[in-house]
Structure 1
Amino acid sequence: MLISNIYGRLAADPTEKTTKTGKPMALASVAVDVTGQRAEDGDSETLWVSLMAFGHQCEALLRAEKGQMVAAIGKLTRSRYTGRDDIERESWTLLAESVVTAKSARPGTRKRQDPPPPDRRAPARDFDDAIDF
């Protein structure tokens, strides 16, 4: 298990589940483009990652919709299994500690306040102090 981040597109609307202890959780499948910078023949490669979120991250993920871009940071685990066709496969799961979606970020909803302009009348600070080295 390692801390990692993913950035990809939701394959479907996230689903809400409840744990045995009654905690709400959100599950989603994210398509992450892992094509190298020097991809030959223009082929792209997609890694499918299952995304699990609890608490505030659950709420943020449930506001997202199919096709939206999602960025998440958390504990990434890899599992290996043998499919019905007797081929060994692997699956990736990210337990989200932070989730940012287009709907949770919402650029433009809060106007950024620029810092006040510097007071031009204030005296300049004196940096000619004698410092012994």
Structure 2
Amino acid sequence: MTAQLAAYGRIAADVQTIPTSNGSIMAYSRMAVSLPCRDAEDGSGVMWLDITAFGKQAEALARQQKGDLLSVSGTLQLRQWAGQNGGTQSGYGLVVESLVSSQTVRPGNSVGKRTAGKKQTQSQPPAQPHQPPAGNDFADDDPPF
């Protein structure tokens, strides 16, 4: 049985890459995902999520930096390992199948580009307000049906 998950959060650790035996790369990092939590003072909690990507998704993840906003979806896994105190630790991991970066999509009609680690913003012309089609003779707010 598998579980699919979509998550939106910030990259919390530098992205690491490892070459695979078939010549592509594997990339991994950690995300902080904000979740509602009624027991928390501010009403939200943090879920720490390990993310692992292969192939084209790994190439996209490798272009990200700590602190970047990221939306990912994929297969959720429960991971267990021996902790420093010798006890068994567990956490969640996601094998990324889809990745959308905040570098790709930015609100506010601007397109962001990175140059030598610095963000630059280019403004786009403002969108024209929506105009109703000509010949609209509905003078009042009643629906036309």
Q: TM-score, normalised by structure 2?
A: 0.65
Indicate how the Cα distance of structure 1 residues 69 and 18 shifts in structure 2: closer, same or farther if over 3 A, else same. same
Q: How many pairs were matched up?
A: 125
Is the 2:37–2:43 Cα contact (8 Å) retained in structure 1? no
Q: CA RMSD in A?
A: 3.3
Indicate how the Cα distance of structure 1 residues 119 and 7 shifts in structure 2: closer, same or farther if over 3 A, else same. closer
Equivalences for 1:1-133 in 2 at 5 Å?
Answer: 1-40=2-41, 42=42, 45-107=45-107, 108-109=110-111, 120=134
Inter-partner Cα distance in structure 2 for 1:53 and 1:103: 18
Identity of aligned residues (%): 30
Unaligned runs of 5+ in 1: 122-133
Is the 1:63–1:103 Cα contact (8 Å) retained in structure 2? no
Larger proportion of strand:
2
What is the CA deviation profile of residues 35-83 of structure 1, one whole-angstrom value per residue up to 9, with x for unaligned ones? 514524x485432211111233223222221111111000010022332
Q: TM-score, normalised by structure 1?
A: 0.70
Larger RCO, structures 1/2 (Cα 8 Å, 6+ apart)? 1
In structure 1, the partner of 2:121 is none
Shift of 1:111: 7.5
Inter-partner Cα distance in structure 1 for 2:13 and 2:80: 24
In structure 2, the partner of 1:129 is none
Shift of 1:119: 6.2
Is the 1:12–1:29 Cα contact (8 Å) retained in structure 2? yes
Unaligned runs of 5+ in 2: 112-123, 136-145
Inter-partner Cα distance in structure 1 for 2:70 and 2:48: 13
Structure showing greater radius of gyration is 1
Is the 1:16–1:24 Cα contact (8 Å) retained in structure 2? yes
